Each structure stands twice: as C-alpha cells, then as structure tokens.
C-alpha cells in the first residue's frame, strides 16, 4: 500500500546523514511512483513532487544536518496541504441544522448518519433526529431504525410514502415541533452515478436547503472515488467529504486526490462498522498515517476519551514513583479492551501496521495474560522483580500456561512500563521517537 511504498522511498533518506542531489531526485521519483500506485491522479502526483523539490532546494536540504528528516517533513507538510488545511466542523448554525447525506449505495451513508448522530449527541447539548429518505428498499428504513435504537436517537420515517422530498420536509417539521437541534437526512444511493439518482438528491437538496451537505465515499474505491465526488459536486456543490472504510487495507489515494479535484474539505473519516468508529479528519495526522508514522495523536486521544481520569492520575503517580505493577498492567489491558479492537489500536502505532498485517490478533490473546496475572501473589504483582524460576513454575501451573509465556509477558510488561514513562511526557512525540518514527 501507499504507506509502505512511501516508507521505502523515504527510507533511503532516513538513515543517511548526508544526501546528494541525485538522492533527492531518486527519492522524489519513488514518492511519485508511490502516489501513482495509490491512484493519485498523475498531474497531482507530478505537481506534488515538483513542489517538494522546489521547497527542498529552497531550504538547502543538501547542507542541513539531517537532510533525511527535513525531506520527510517537507513531504509530510506537502501532503498535509494537499489534503486540506485545518479540520473544519459541520455547520450547526441552523435551527434546526439540517445535514444532508449523499453518495453511492454502499458508500456508508446510513452507517455514517448514525455515527454522526451519536457523535453530536455525545456533545451533550445536541439532540439529533435521523430521517429515513431511502424509499426504494424497505430494509434501508429498518437499517436506520436499528442504528437509531443502538445509539438512542429518534428516527423519523414514513413507510407508505414514496416521495423522499416530502419525507425530508416532514422530518424537518417534526424536528422543529419536538426540539431537535440537528436533522440528519439519510438518502438512497445507487451503485453507479445515474441521472435519476442525481435528480432525486438535487431535488431534496433544493427543497430542504441543508446547512450542510456531506458527500460520503468509500475510500477503497480509489480513483473512482474522485470521479464520483466530481459528479456529486457538480450537482450539489456539497460542503464536505466523509471518507469511509479507512479501517481496511485502504489505499490513501482517494484522500489525497479528492480534495484537490473538488476543492472541498474532508471532514470526517469512518474507521469501522461500529457506531463509535468515526474521527474528525485531520490532514496532518492523515499525512502521518500515509507516511507510515502511525496515527499516534488519534491513538492517544482515543485512549484519553475512554480513560477514567481518576485512574489515569493514580497511574501517573505510580509510574513516576516506579511503582507500576502487574495489577496496573491488568487494568491497562482492561482499558485497552474498552477502547476497541486490539488490531485497530496497534495499527496506529508507528511501524506496527506493517508487522501486524499478516498476524491475526484477537482479544483472546489477553486471556492467557490475565490468567497468569491472576495466579500471582499480591507481592509478585506489585514487585515483579521477585519472580524467580520456582515462582514462575508455580504460576505457570496455576494458570495453565508455560514458563516461556510468563517470560514473554515479563518482557512485554517491562516494555510497557518503559512506554508508559515515555507517554507521560504528554506528547506522542517521545513515543514516536522511541518506536523509531
């Protein structure tokens, strides 16, 4: 994928203290190839490398102390710029604010409608309403109701009605009458761009004049995503893009191209089927991710969100005093389990994405660890250094594991203690350095 290719392209420079002009040119050629492979439009890729080259020469890359790092930074900054400036939120100035979803069938509109409603609802002050305007498939209305139930958000539908414009309008009237601040209108899509679909979504758009029109697109569709975005933008002049299915082994090309072709910001990304798999799009983090540095900031943020703050404070004290023990390790594991799937999270750690590609990590892997820790005495948990051979044997027997597994766990524990110390600094940067990013 793109990350790996760019990784390779930049690898030459990363290690080197000195680089030559030929080296820069070679690297940029590789970068361009990687972009093309990821379905980035040819002209965009070419402009991209030309811009980086110009900036590199302007900054005298060749004479700086760590030219490799500077090049990485230049490529990253350029990628960031290409994908848009700062993250922009949705327009919630209306009363109620109407958000219209558009996009092809299967792009993830219904799922994202739910995620966005949940996201806004979690912001406490907002009371969203979901409106089901996919009149072609009865199952589509059911799907939105299921989603609404999951997140505790009301869904407005009118099963006998085959006019999506009328349903949308009735939904907005319902929202006004019932004190909803936000109305999210889910619409029907088709498998490919066609006139009928475009006419329908344009009519809804004209009739309800949404504060925000979002175009939802499956990131896995590569260059097609750009063509579809263009077709929808020509008709709707939408406000922002939602890039879904970025959890898979997705090429980054879509994110890079869409912004430059339709000149509309990517506002959100979808990273899974569950209702909390939504992230605000941050171009610079996406650039990091594409560059294989891992989305550390998101990782730390997600961790913070799920983390019991009181617990965290206690833990920090312990780490500072070198009192981090297996009980804490156990509660860490429980926290991690709360945060989402293991593979998801590890994938965000720099360099880990590649290593994990072929490994199937499931959360059952924790069961052994938990069994081992449960078989330890309180003393062994708080002071792991007392674990000698005979204690290990006893624990292995008690937990149905092996001494080897216990040794492995000890190693992991030591690594984790070290990492916790690094992360204490507050920023992910130290951690990135440690992981060789």
Q: Are 364 and 328 within 8 A, CB to CB?
A: no
Task: Convert residues 257-296 into a mask of x (bound to ligand GDP by CB under 6 A) and - (unbound).
Answer: -------------xxxx---x-------------------
Give dist(CA 238, CA 202) in Å, integer: 11
Grouping H, G, I as helix, E, B as strand and the rest as coil, residue 267 is strand
Contact status: 27 vs ligand GDP (CB under 6 A): no
- Please give the structure tokens belonging to residue 406: 């216990």
Query: Is 294 flagged in the annotation as binding?
Result: no
Give dist(CA 203, CA 299) in Å, integer: 41
Out of Mg ion, ligand GDP, none, what residue 228 binds, judged by CB under 5 to 8 A for its kind, is none
- Do the strands 240-244 and 266-270 form a parallel or antiparallel pair, or are they unpaired? parallel
Q: Which is nearer to ligand GDP, 59 or 227 (CB)?
A: 227
Q: Which is nearer to ligand GDP, 180 or 245 (CB)?
A: 245
Query: Is 17 flagged in the annotation as binding?
Result: no
Using CB under 6 A, pick the residue from 53, 245, 282, 302 that binds ligand GDP: 245
Instruction: Choose the stretch contacting ligand GDP; rule: CB under 6 A; options: 73-81, 98-106, 374-382, 400-408.
Output: 98-106
Report residue 104 CA to chain centroid gap. Answer: 21
Q: What are phi and psi of 382, to 5 degrees?
A: -85, -25
Out of Mg ion, ligand GDP, none, what residue 240 binds, judged by CB under 5 to 8 A for its kind, is none
Give dist(CA 70, CA 231) in Å, integer: 38
Write down the least CB distance from residue 52 to ligand GDP, Å.
30
Query: Is 186 flagged in the annotation as binding?
Result: yes
Give residues with Cβ within 8 angstroms of 133, minimum separation 6: 164, 167, 168, 171, 185, 186, 187, 188, 204
Contact status: 253 vs ligand GDP (CB under 6 A): no
Out of Mg ion, ligand GDP, none, what residue 111 binds, judged by CB under 5 to 8 A for its kind, is ligand GDP
DSSP 386: G
Q: Which is nearer to ligand GDP, 277 or 291 (CB)?
A: 277
Contact status: 341 vs ligand GDP (CB under 6 A): no
Q: Which is nearer to Mg ion, 144 or 266 (CB)?
A: 144
Give dist(CA 240, CA 214) in Å, integer: 5
Contact status: 347 vs ligand GDP (CB under 6 A): no
Contact status: 381 vs ligand GDP (CB under 6 A): no
Residue of this chain nearest to Mg ion (CB atom):
110
- Please give the structure tokens belonging to residue 58: 């302007």
Of residues 109-148, those binding ligand GDP (CB under 6 A):
109-111
Contact status: 157 vs ligand GDP (CB under 6 A): no
By CB under 6 A, the count of residues binding ligand GDP is 18
Contact status: 102 vs ligand GDP (CB under 6 A): no
Question: ∠ CA 186-187-192 to the nearest 5 degrees?
Answer: 135
Q: Are 184 and 211 within 8 A, CB to CB?
A: no
Give dist(CA 145, CA 230) in Å, integer: 31
- Please give the structure tokens belonging to residue 83: 């994908």
Helical H segments across 281-341, by residue range: 283-290, 296-306, 309-320, 326-339
Q: Are 311 and 331 within 8 A, CB to CB?
A: yes
Q: Are 84 and 265 within 8 A, CB to CB?
A: yes
Write down the least CB distance from residue 212 to ligand GDP, Å.
17
Q: Which is nearer to Mg ion, 75 or 140 (CB)?
A: 140
Helices and strands of the chain, counted as H and E runs: 21, 8
Contact status: 107 vs ligand GDP (CB under 6 A): yes
Write down the least CB distance from residue 90 to ligand GDP, Å.
18
Q: Which is nearer to Mg ion, 41 or 110 (CB)?
A: 110
CB atoms within 10 A of CB 56: 23
Give residues with Cβ within 8 angstroms of 146, minimum separation 6: none
Instruction: Choose the stretch contacting ligand GDP; rule: CB under 6 A; options: 15-23, 104-112, 171-179, 192-200.
Output: 104-112
Write down the least CB distance from residue 137 to ligand GDP, Å.
9
Out of ligand GDP, Mg ion, none, what residue 273 binds, judged by CB under 5 to 8 A for its kind, is ligand GDP
Contact status: 189 vs ligand GDP (CB under 6 A): yes
| Residues forming the site for ligand GDP (CB under 6 A) | 103, 105-111, 189, 244-245, 247-248, 270-273, 277
Can you say which residues are annotated as belonging to the binding site for GTP?
Answer: 103-110, 186-190, 244-247
Annotated binding site: 103-110, 186-190, 244-247
């Amino acid at each position: 994928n793109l990350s790996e290719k760019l990784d390779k392209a930049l690898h030459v420079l990363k290690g080197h203290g000195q680089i030559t002009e030929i080296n820069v040119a070679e690297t940029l050629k590789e970068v361009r190839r990687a972009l093309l492979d990821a379905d980035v439009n040819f002209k965009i890729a070419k402009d991209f490398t030309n811009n980086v080259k110009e900036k590199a020469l302007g900054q005298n890359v060749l004479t700086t102390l760590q030219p490799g790092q500077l090049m990485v930074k230049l490529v990253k900054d350029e990628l960031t710029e290409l994908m848009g400036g700062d993250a922009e939120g949705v327009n919630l100035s209306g009363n109620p604010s109407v958000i219209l979803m558009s996009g092809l069938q299967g792009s993830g509109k219904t799922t994202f409608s739910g995620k966005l409603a949940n996201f806004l609802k979690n912001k406490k002050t907002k009371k969203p309403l979901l409106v089901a305007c996919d009149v072609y498939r009865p199952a589509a209305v059911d799907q939105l109701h299921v989603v609404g139930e999951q997140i505790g958000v009301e869904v407005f539908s009118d099963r006998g009605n085959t006019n999506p414009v009328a349903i949308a309008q009735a939904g907005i009237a319902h929202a006004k009458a019932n004190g909803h601040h936000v109305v999210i209108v889910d619409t029907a899509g088709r498998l490919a761009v066609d006139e009928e679909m475009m006419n329908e979504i344009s009519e809804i758009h004209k009739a309800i004049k949404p504060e925000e029109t979002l175009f939802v697109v499956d990131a896995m569709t590569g260059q097609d995503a750009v063509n579809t975005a263009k077709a929808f933008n020509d008709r709707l002049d939408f406000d922002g893009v939602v890039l879904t299915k970025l959890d898979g082994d997705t090429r980054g090309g879509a994110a890079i191209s869409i912004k430059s072709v339709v000149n509309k910001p990517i506002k959100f990304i979808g990273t899974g089927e569950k209702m909390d798999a939504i992230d605000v799009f941050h171009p610079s983090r996406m650039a990091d991710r594409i560059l294989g540095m891992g989305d550390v900031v998101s990782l730390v943020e997600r961790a913070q969100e799920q983390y019991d703050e009181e617990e965290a404070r206690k833990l920090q004290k312990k780490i500072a005093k070198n009192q981090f023990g297996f009980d804490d390790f156990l509660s860490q594991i429980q926290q991690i389990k709360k945060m989402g799937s293991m593979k998801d999270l590890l994938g965000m750690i720099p360099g880990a994405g590649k290593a994990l590609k072929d490994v199937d990590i499931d959360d059952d892997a924790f069961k052994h660890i938990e069994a081992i820790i449960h078989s330890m005495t309180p003393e062994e948990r708080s002071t792991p250094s007392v674990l000698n051979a005979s204690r290990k044997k006893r624990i292995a027997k008690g937990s149905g594991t092996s001494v080897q597994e216990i040794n492995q766990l000890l190693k992991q524990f030591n690594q984790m203690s070290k990492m916790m110390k690094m992360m204490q600094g507050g920023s992910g940067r130290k951690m990135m350095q440690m992981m060789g990013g």
